[in-house]
Chain A
Amino acid sequence: MSQQGSPRVVVIGNGMVGYKFCEKLIAKSTSFNITVFGEEPRAAYDRVHLSEYFNGKSAEDLTMASENWYRENGIDLYLGNAVLEIDRASKTIHSRKGLKLAYDYLVLATGSSAFVPDIPGVEKDGVFVYRTIEDLELIQGYATTAKTGAVLGGGLLGLEAAKALIDLGLEETHVVEFAPRLMPRQIDSAASNMLQAKLEGLGLKLHMQKATSRISGEDKIEALEFADETSLEVDMLVISAGIRPRDELAKLAGLETGTRGGIVVNSKMQTSDESIFAIGECALYDGMIYGLVAPGYEMAEVVATYLCAGERAFTGYDMSTKLKLIGVDVASFGDPFVTEPDSRSIVFEDTHKGVYKRINISNDGKYLLGGVLIGDADAYNMLLQTVNNKIVLPPNPEDLVLGARGGEAAVGAGVSSLPDDALICSCESVTKGDICGAVNTLDVTTVDGMKKCNKAGTGCGGCVPMVKDLINDTLKENGMYIKNNVCEHFDFSRQELFDLLKLNNIKTYDEALDVFGKGDGCEACKPTVASILASLWNDVIVKQQTIQDSNDRYLANIQKGGTYSVVPRIPGGEITPDKLIVIGQVAKKYNLYTKITGGQRIDLFGAHLSDLPDIWEELIDAGFESGHAYGKALRTVKSCVGSTWCRFGLHDSVSFAIEVEERYRGIRAPHKIKGGVSGCVRECAEAQSKDFGIIATEKGWNLYVAGNGGSKPQHAQLLATDIDKETVVKYLDRFLMFYIKTADSLTRTATWLNKMEGGMTYLKNVIINDSLGINEQLEAEMQTLINNYSCEWKEVVQNPELRKRFSHFVNAPKEKDPSVQFDTMREQVKAKEW
């Protein structure tokens, strides 16, 4: 609440740093009157993740704090109201909308704007900058009519903008850079070359050493013309040629500014007027503008501390960064450029995979000074810590880039070797000591809890894996047994619960909760237990409808707008013309969008809840059954055409795929399972990217397991070679059942195997050599599941009681949800945007 007589702090600029300053100040003291002026129409938002606006995040999702937050904390917030003038003599400011306000302290957090070089034609339509949500809205609007686009500037932001253009669906995206290489400020030239090759491989067109002399076109941009007389035709252009600190207001008020821009500050962030401070991207400290949020947050901390009569000085900031640029890891830390004679470098380069790693080591071999990582930056956090905390290197520092070649992980002894004051989360200045302290004294045991407790991991999110390791390490040190408990209602891991429910012959969720759990359950343990029960007994899942995840509850996948999709099983991807016709007829009758899926079958989208049973009934009559596209269950076994038609085919891969798909259909697992069968090594069924893959050889079949597509693709590994069909099936039974019994919830086979101690060697021993003596049991359990299979759609279609559950309004079962709306596209329906 605003108080009479307490000092008034006026903050100019409601960007990331201005917001953070408010947050920090009110946390330290309530005795200030705070007023904030923002030029943009909305409250401060997360500019770092701005590009996610194109990936479905709304402006609201990006907001740092709602306008309500300011109100609740007694902060007066004026938006869309820039400050135009500072009168230092009377200590007052004047705003665009005519407000005049006196201040005791003034904080300039005006940030920076995109630097637009003075090229003839920059004013044309179709030329944009990339800084605010409004910029992005304009770009998005314009991109719908554009086919080709270019970004001016091959720095960090330029590449991010290029990614955005690709995501917006432009057919061709160019990057034009004046310098001879990409990101000259962050990485060395070998790294630039590697990055360039990778980005070109991804379809980006890069033009180095091009000085743009003119933007040509009538009213709108049509081409870029370069000093070397060449030109490039494009429909739109995003300029990302650097940033310019917004010091115009400070200049006008006579504050000292740098020759190349920026408001000069001392280590207390004071400008040349001691009651005026500057923080964030507008502040020039020791000749440097810090264009990242973490140093800006530290500046905010310095001023907030100072106003509360504390001591804290800004002494420069580590500019290490790790990013993903168009899917390529890029990291630079410490001093990336230092070379002989001041240091020695170890470089690892793999042009095939596109990995480049360089580390710079002190001449005595003791300390890490800095480095660059391209293509694989997993080691970034540990390397950065090793630099910042001057951790003495192990005897073979090359392990840091090559990985230990003998099993054990390399870098020191992991997080436990870090000193307590090691900065883990640099966005929020949280140290290792803070994190371990929160575990020890405040009983924080989860990353979410830590975020709430001290904000660690809430900024760029890069430190989250380390925060997690630290929490687990500390718990372990305290003698606590770390378990992956299912949730607050069950103090057991999925595997333990699986064994308990089996041993005690438990068949319902309620029984499980009564005997082994507490409370009333939740959206985490219900589906987990449901999946275990299904894996154990393969009973019809709709009997316990309300413990199923929404898709399993309605045996269909929920879509935008609340309609569902229907995917009938098409084993091995083989389908008769008659069945194809039925799918077409059903789709027409119920006005469904149809699409061939990535899994060799057909998806029918946009079904109303109340139509589902009718649709299934018609499909079942034509010989179809559920494809379990909604379940954590077997999805598809993809096939290639194989020896029946293909001139290279060694065996009949289609028949084998159908056989395997029908064997395992409907079986529930910790996550979905996919398979593939190829008729020869050409591998047209992509079997090696599946949870299990079968590939024909001259002598029989090779069996691969634990592959994964998805976000972290991984090739399947060879389990057995040249085995006959019966052996393939036997090994598969064992493999799948072992997975079903021991994996954590929502863990695919690849992740499960990655976490398994002993890895593939161990798995082979279990499956092939029966090292645990459980194979007979695994096979028997699998056989029970297979015997208990029945189509769950049929179950609903034939049961009037269950059928009744498929209506939107229970008190008006005939009425469909009136809020469901469709658009049309290419002569079919499409869900309305949300």
Chain B
Amino acid sequence: MEVQVLEAVEWIYVCKTEDVPQDGGACVKVNEEQIALYNFARRGEWYATQNLCPHKQQMVLSRGMIGSTGDTCEPKVACPFHKKTFSLLSGECLSGDDYQIKTYPVKVIGDKVYIGIEQS
């Protein structure tokens, strides 16, 4: 995984790589926030989004299935409740609704996973 250089981002250690199932997600607690972390093992990529599904305000996105869509293979997660899907890159809702979720940068060093939280 390439290390992204981003300004004003604090990298917070959240868990070990083995804590997140391959090609699936898990929820981590960062400060008082719930963040969904995804181990896209098939592509060797990691993503993070808010854990809250904006549709019915449920803390469950980390339990959703991940996958990709379209010619560009846009990575996405599907909420387990009503299968609304969200881009893991932009956080945009891909199933035609006006929702937007927050995404976070992730970096992996050795077996340690860090999430970047913007400093305000």
A residues contacting B by CB (< 8 A) are 66, 68, 488-489, 510, 513, 519-523, 525-527, 545-547, 549-551, 553-554, 558, 560-562, 805, 808-812, 815, 817, 819-820, 834
CA distance A553 to B64 in the complex (A): 10
Asked if B107 is an interface residue, CB under 8 A from chain A, the answer is no
- B91 → chain A closest CB, angstroms: 16
- Complex contact A810–B26 (CB within 8 A): yes
Question: Which of chain A's residues have a CB closer than 8 A to the CB of B19?
Answer: 810-811
- Complex contact B68–A519 (CB within 8 A): yes
Q: Which of B14, B29, B73, B83 has the most chain A CB atoms inside 10 A of its CB?
A: B29
CA distance A560 to B69 in the complex (A): 28
Closest to A558 in B: B80
Those of B10-34 within 8 Å (CB) of chain A: 14-15, 19-24, 26-29, 34
CA distance A815 to B98 in the complex (A): 32
- Complex contact A520–B73 (CB within 8 A): yes
Q: Given A545-B24, A546-B23, A811-B29, A526 and B98 touching (CB < 8 A)?
A: no
Q: Given A808-B27, A811-B19, A519 and B73 touching (CB < 8 A)?
A: yes
CA distance A817 to B27 in the complex (A): 10
Contacting residue for B14 out of A526, A546, A549, A811, CB 8 A: A811
- Complex contact A521–B67 (CB within 8 A): yes
- A799 → chain B closest CB, angstroms: 14
CA distance A560 to B57 in the complex (A): 10
Contacting residue for B65 out of A68, A522, A561, CB 8 A: A522
Question: Which of chain B's residues have a CB closer than 8 A to the CB of A558?
Answer: 60, 63, 80-81
Q: Given A546-B24, A558-B81, A562-B60, A520 and B34 touching (CB < 8 A)?
A: no
Question: Which of chain A's residues have a CB closer than 8 A to the CB of B81?
Answer: 558
Question: Which of chain B's residues have a CB closer than 8 A to the CB of A561?
Answer: 58
A to B CB contacts below 8 Å, 23 in the list: A488-B69, A520-B67, A520-B75, A522-B65, A523-B65, A523-B67, A526-B65, A545-B21, A546-B66, A547-B23, A547-B65, A550-B64, A553-B63, A561-B58, A562-B58, A562-B59, A808-B27, A809-B28, A810-B28, A817-B27, A817-B34, A819-B59, A834-B58
Question: Which of chain B's residues have a CB closer than 8 A to the CB of A812?
Answer: 29
Q: Which of A66, A526, A550, A553 has the most chain B CB atoms inside 10 A of its CB?
A: A550
Contact string against A for B residues 88-100, beta-carbon threshold 8 Å, 1 for contact and 0 otherwise: 0000000000100
- A608 → chain B closest CB, angstroms: 12
CA distance A549 to B33 in the complex (A): 26
Given A545-B21, A553-B63, A809-B27, 11 additional A-B pairs, CB 8 A: A66-B98, A488-B69, A519-B67, A520-B73, A522-B78, A546-B22, A549-B65, A550-B80, A809-B28, A810-B28, A817-B27
Q: Given A546-B22, A550-B63, A520 and B42 touching (CB < 8 A)?
A: yes
Question: Which of chain B's residues have a CB closer than 8 A to the CB of A510?
Answer: 23, 42
- Complex contact A522–B76 (CB within 8 A): yes
Q: Which of A513, A520, A527, A545 has the most chain B CB atoms inside 10 A of its CB?
A: A520
Those of B29-54 within 8 Å (CB) of chain A: 29, 34, 37, 40, 42-43
CA distance A819 to B60 in the complex (A): 11
Interface residue count on the B side (C-beta < 8 Å): 39
CA distance A549 to B80 in the complex (A): 7
- A510 → chain B closest CB, angstroms: 7
CA distance A558 to B58 in the complex (A): 11
Question: Which of chain B's residues have a CB closer than 8 A to the CB of A68?
Answer: 98
- Complex contact A811–B15 (CB within 8 A): yes
- Complex contact B29–A521 (CB within 8 A): no
Question: Which of chain B's residues have a CB closer than 8 A to the CB of A513?
Answer: 42
B residues contacting A by CB (< 8 A) are 14-15, 19-24, 26-29, 34, 37, 40, 42-43, 56-60, 63-70, 73, 75-76, 78, 80-81, 83, 85, 98
CA distance A510 to B64 in the complex (A): 18
CA distance A817 to B58 in the complex (A): 11
Question: Which of chain A's residues have a CB closer than 8 A to the CB of B37?
Answer: 810
- Complex contact B63–A834 (CB within 8 A): no
Closest to A514 in B: B42
- A559 → chain B closest CB, angstroms: 10
CA distance A68 to B99 in the complex (A): 12
- Complex contact B27–A526 (CB within 8 A): no
Closest to A551 in B: B80
Q: Given A809-B28, A810-B27, A834 and B56 touching (CB < 8 A)?
A: yes
Question: Which of chain A's residues have a CB closer than 8 A to the CB of B56?
Answer: 560, 834
- Complex contact B65–A805 (CB within 8 A): no
CA distance A811 to B14 in the complex (A): 6
CA distance A312 to B76 in the complex (A): 44
- Complex contact B29–A815 (CB within 8 A): yes
Q: Given A550-B80, A554-B63, A523 and B85 touching (CB < 8 A)?
A: yes
Closest to B58 in A: A562
Question: Which of chain B's residues have a CB closer than 8 A to the CB of A808?
Answer: 27
CA distance A811 to B22 in the complex (A): 17
Q: Which of A525, A561, A820 has the most chain B CB atoms inside 10 A of its CB?
A: A561
Question: Which of chain A's residues have a CB closer than 8 A to the CB of B21?
Answer: 545-546, 805
- Complex contact A522–B64 (CB within 8 A): no
Closest to B37 in A: A810
Question: Which of chain B's residues have a CB closer than 8 A to the CB of A562?
Answer: 58-60
Question: Which of chain A's residues have a CB closer than 8 A to the CB of B59?
Answer: 562, 817, 819-820
Question: Which of chain B's residues have a CB closer than 8 A to the CB of A811?
Answer: 14-15, 19, 28-29
Contacting residue for B20 out of A554, A810, A815, CB 8 A: A810
- A226 → chain B closest CB, angstroms: 45
Contacting residue for B67 out of A526, A553, A819, A834, CB 8 A: A526
Task: Please provide the 3 A-B residue pairs with the shortest distance between their CB atoms, ordered closest to farther.
Answer: A546-B24, A550-B80, A522-B67
- A517 → chain B closest CB, angstroms: 11
Q: Which of B40, B56, B65, B83 has the most chain A CB atoms inside 10 A of its CB?
A: B65
CA distance A525 to B24 in the complex (A): 15
Closest to A834 in B: B56
Q: Given A520-B40, A522-B78, A545-B21, A834 and B57 touching (CB < 8 A)?
A: yes
CA distance A817 to B34 in the complex (A): 9
Q: Which of A549, A558, A808, A811 has the most chain B CB atoms inside 10 A of its CB?
A: A811
- B87 → chain A closest CB, angstroms: 13
Question: Which of chain B's residues have a CB closer than 8 A to the CB of A525?
Answer: 67
Question: Which of chain B's residues have a CB closer than 8 A to the CB of A817?
Answer: 27, 34, 59
Closest to A819 in B: B59
- Complex contact B68–A523 (CB within 8 A): no
